[in-house]
Structure 1
Amino acid sequence: MWIAQIGSMTEKQITLVCNQCMERCAAGNTWPPDLAEFVALVSESGANPFGLTPDAVMAEYKRWRNESYRFSGSDKYPWPQPVLYHICIEMRRTGVERQMTEKELIKLAEKLLTKWAKHIQNGFSIPPVRRQLAGPKNPGGPTPAELLREEYKRRKKAGLIN
């Protein structure tokens, strides 16, 4: 499992995580991290294909949330990276539905960042930022119910219906 985790990282990512491990040792934590701690360090250090940390995601989420009123839609907002669009949209939806606190949103940002990093590692790409398709428009003219009502009125006027 260690080989799989380290083998999927770039040299820059490994350097970032090793620096964090050395900082932990300098702070008094002399025991090397286990795999779960190592994966958490990878996530915290921004050692993912995007170079983002959960704090950076939260900062962009707050900026977007506070400035989105200036744009006609989320697709018009100047996203630094397309992945942030997808993460922030999902964070807002989930955060509102579940009435999440700040700490819960940070955990969600971490989880979504990991999800999209795995998405990239599996060979998929980040979908471009696009406006949602508009729903179909009703055709002009009377609806079937309106046509039936007119037929009913015509028959009643003609005395065919009591």
Structure 2
Amino acid sequence: MFNNSPDTPVWQLWDTMIKLYSNRWITKNGNRPNELWIAQIASMTAAQVTAVCQECIKRCASGNSWPPDLAEFIELMAKCQGGILGLNARQIMAEYWRWRKSGKNAAEFLWQQPVLFQICTEMFCTGSQRNLTEKELEKLGSELLLEWERKVASGCPIPAVRAQLTAPVKSSGPTPAEELLARRRKPER
């Protein structure tokens, strides 16, 4: 059973959220944590709690003053701590910009983890097509990270970084089609 003492990390986080969001937190999540919230918060370290609180403050500073529900809280926690791949959104963005500033193509770049090749190249393609801002790129990176974590959790392997196939080298002579065309153009005698 849950320790109902106000000194527990669960209650400390709950009180912090009430101070940060006031009545909006209580309206959305209640004045006391339910079993799901307790299980989620109890599994967090002090550093993770601090990181999630900082993310909530960033959300408020960017204009999103509504408190997270449990699903959003779990997403914030994953963004801060890194899931089964041990990565978080900040690390994804740092690796993305390290790659982009290196001037190397994706296959030549030394990735910290193979999954970063998959995520960062997708971010580049989608970001270029949609002309995404840095915040939108970060959100895309988080979504791709969660997608890859789900794939890995279900047993899907992460493909190795592979070099792009080079175009075939054109032979010095005419192609069979060019030879056929030349024979057809020759006047018959």
Whether TM exceeds 0.5 here: the answer is yes
The TM-score, its normalising length taken from structure 2, stands at: 0.61
Contact between 2:48 and 2:81, CA under 8 Å: does it hold in 1? no
Aligned partner (choices 29, 40, 47) of residue 75 of structure 2: 40
> Which structure 1 segments of 5+ residues have no match?
none
Counterpart residue number, 2:85: 50
Contact between 2:114 and 2:158, CA under 8 Å: does it hold in 1? yes
Contact between 2:80 and 2:89, CA under 8 Å: does it hold in 1? no
Aligned partner (choices 103, 106, 120) of residue 135 of structure 2: 103
**Once the two structures are aligned, what percentage of the paired residues are identical?**
39
* Residue 101 of structure 2 corresponds to residue 66 of structure 1: yes
Cα distance between partner residues in 2 of 1:22 and 1:155:
81
Contact between 1:17 and 1:47, CA under 8 Å: does it hold in 2? no
> Which structure 2 segments of 5+ residues have no match?
1-35, 57-66
What SS does structure 2 have at the residue aligned with 1:74? coil
* Residue 163 of structure 2 corresponds to residue 134 of structure 1: no
Contact between 2:93 and 2:141, CA under 8 Å: does it hold in 1? yes
Counterpart residue number, 1:20: 49
Cα distance between partner residues in 1 of 2:45 and 2:100:
30
Cα distance between partner residues in 1 of 2:185 and 2:111:
57
Aligned partner (choices 108, 122, 125) of residue 76 of structure 1: 108
Indicate the RMSD between aligned Cα atoms, in angstroms: 3.4
Counterpart residue number, 2:144: 112
Shift of 1:144: 3.8
Contact between 1:17 and 1:41, CA under 8 Å: does it hold in 2? no
Letter in 2 for 1:39: I
Counterpart residue number, 2:157: 125
Query: Which structure's relative contact order is higher, taking Cα pairs within 8 Å and 6+ residues apart?
Result: 1
Cα distance between partner residues in 1 of 2:51 and 2:127:
35
Q: Greater shift after overlay, 132-141 or 116-125? A: 132-141
Letter in 1 for 2:44: T
The TM-score, its normalising length taken from structure 1, stands at: 0.70
What count of residue pairs does the alignment treat as equivalent? 141
